[in-house]
Amino acid sequence: AKSPSMFHFRRRGKEMVDLIADYLENIEQRTVYPDVEPGYLRSLIPEEAPEDPDTYEDVVKDIERVIMPGVTHWHSPYFYAYFPTANSFPAMLADMLSGAIGCIGFSWAASPACTELETVMMDWLGKMLKLPEDFIAGTHGQGGGVIQGTASEATLVALLAARCRAVRMILASDPQRPETGITSKLVAYSSDQAHCSVERAGMIAGVRMKKIPTDQSDKYAVQGETLRRMIQEDKAAGLIPFYFCATLGTTPSCAFDHITELGPICNAEKIWMHIDAAYAGSSFICPEFRPLLNGIEFADSFNFNAHKWLLVNFDYEFTLFAPLTLTHLSPSASPCLPLPHPVSPSTSQHWQIPLGRRFRSLKMWFVFRMYGLKGLQDYIRKHVELAKEFESLVRADQRFEISADVVLGLVCFRLKGSNEVNETLLKRINNGRKIHLVPCLLSGQFVLRFALCARTTESRHIREAWRLITQLAEEVMQELPH
Ligand code: PLP
């Protein structure tokens, strides 16, 4: 006999799918950016959880009353802020199944399918990206990948592994040296354009993190000569350079560090090179963008967010490690793993901070199979084409300028004139709530970022966004000196 709760679930589950479909189908009609003040929500719901259960109808009614007024609609075709976050029907369906299976895959035995599908999916992905065989578990069974929650976690894990490797290497040649004497001398590097999570990783790991200066004339890319000079100066001062985080596709302007030049420097100095390609990484599945990843063969580890631009809903961060790195986060004795692994195709539990892990690879399996490589490539290319279309609209208007090369789906632009004029323009755009953008600072200039985000954005949305921007620019330029 069916239990009442299962009956309830079947009915409400189907209704929920309809609610989601209606939300996504009509998202364009909603104001993309909410009109609420901080603290808006507390007064709309009770101070405490209900003693007796509420009905499902009561909860659903409150979605429009309590939740939707405070939602920034990231999947609206008028959302152009930050970088995209992925959303697709196959991924949402797989997420439901993952939630239902609800296993915690911390070891092979804890759920073999969870461990094995993830290992194989990471290999599928590695092959889509044409990564060196070293990164693919199914070839030598040595390097490989793991799904993390976010790019910030991936960068931190790589940094911790690099710190561990550096200490072990020094102790191997100088066993009497106190470990604290080594860690206090370690120095890591990243670009001044790197995401703030890289600096935070240094703080969490308790190591110095130096920012390498970049400038506009070098397209905001770290130059080999600058890295080499900083390493030599730091070594001369008695420090131990051990980690460099390169960025492919920086957050402000989507700049690319020259890893073909930086990689050999890191390799010669035994510095761990990690590559953070949080946004741009997905584009490397297209042959025309794959050259941006040339130099990966020098890297020790590499991460990107499939939940940004590869149609796999949050949270889904790929981290791939070259084989050398394999054991660096493995505890020597493993008291937290009570079950022996009869077969261990992946040591992924040693490549992340939490022990527990969800069955996230199901999302990848559904998405890769139901889109196919061609479907995913088409989706990336469409966003890049729309970015180029927006770029040409900006270039055709003499009042505006483009602030950085448009390589993928991000256009950095500004009104020719003061920061004040541009800040006012952005404020007007966001207060209008029809479209949503965020700024960045490039060489001291206030710049507007127009990022292609939603899966459903079309040319008509881009043209409408540009119409709104130019109309507000007209107003701002009449009011302010520029
Ligand atoms: N690295 C880069 C280059 C990014 O652009 C971002 C976010 O946009 C991050 C790291 C942080 O990503 P996450 O939220 O996955 O930690």
pLDDT (tens digit per residue) in 219-254: 999 999 999 999 999 999 999 999 999 999 999 999
Residue with token string 């200066």: 213
Q: What is the pLDDT of residue 137?
A: 82
Q: What mean pLDDT comes out for the span 105-116? A: 90
DSSP 306-360: HHHHSS--SS-EEEEE-GGGTTTT--SS-TT--S--S--S--GGGSSS-S----T
Relative to the CA of 280, which ligand 1 atom is closest?
Answer: 3
Q: What is the pLDDT of residue 473?
A: 97
Least confident stretch, 28-32, 140-144, 331-335: 331-335
State in Å: Cα 52 to ligand 1 middle.
42
Q: What is the pLDDT of residue 107?
A: 85
Relative to the CA of 83, which ligand 1 atom is closest?
Answer: 8
Q: What is the pTM of this model?
A: 0.93
Q: What is the pLDDT of residue 482?
A: 67
Q: What is the pLDDT of residue 140?
A: 64
Q: pLDDT (tens digit, 9 = 90+) per residue, 407-451?
A: 999 999 999 999 999 999 999 999 999 999 999 999 999 999 999
State in Å: Cα 212 to ligand 1 middle.
18
pLDDT score of 326 more than 50 = no
pLDDT score of 41 more than 70 = yes
CB-neighbour burial class of residue 394 (10 A; exposed 0-12, middle 13-18, buried 19+):
buried
Give the residue, by CA position, lying nearest to ligand 1 atom 14: 150
Q: What mean pLDDT comes out for the span 392-400? A: 98
| CA dist., res. 391 & res. 408, Å (int) | 11
Q: What is the pLDDT of residue 346?
A: 47
State in Å: Cα 210 to ligand 1 middle.
19
| CA dist., res. 475 & res. 450, Å (int) | 20
Residue with token string 């007024």: 69
Ligand 1 site: residues with CB under 6 angstroms?
83, 150-152, 195, 197, 247, 250-251, 276, 278-279, 305, 317
> Long-range contacts: 370-376, Cβ < 8 Å, 24+?
370/90, 371/88, 371/90, 371/311, 373/128, 373/285, 376/282, 376/285, 376/310, 376/311
Q: How far is CA 245 from the centre of its chain?
A: 15
State in Å: Cα 248 to ligand 1 middle.
11
Where residue 1 falls among pLDDT bands split at 50, 70, 90? Answer: very low
Mutate to test the pocket of ligand 1, among 279, 309, 314, 408 (most ligand atoms within 8 A of CB): 279
Cβ(160)–Cβ(312) below 8 Å: no
State in Å: Cα 91 to ligand 1 middle.
20
What token pair was written down for 431? 């207060």
Q: What is the pLDDT of residue 344?
A: 47
Relative to the CA of 250, which ligand 1 atom is closest?
Answer: 3
Q: What is the pLDDT of residue 364?
A: 95
Relative to the CA of 82, which ligand 1 atom is closest?
Answer: 8
pLDDT score of 75 more than 70 = yes
Q: What is the pLDDT of residue 353?
A: 82
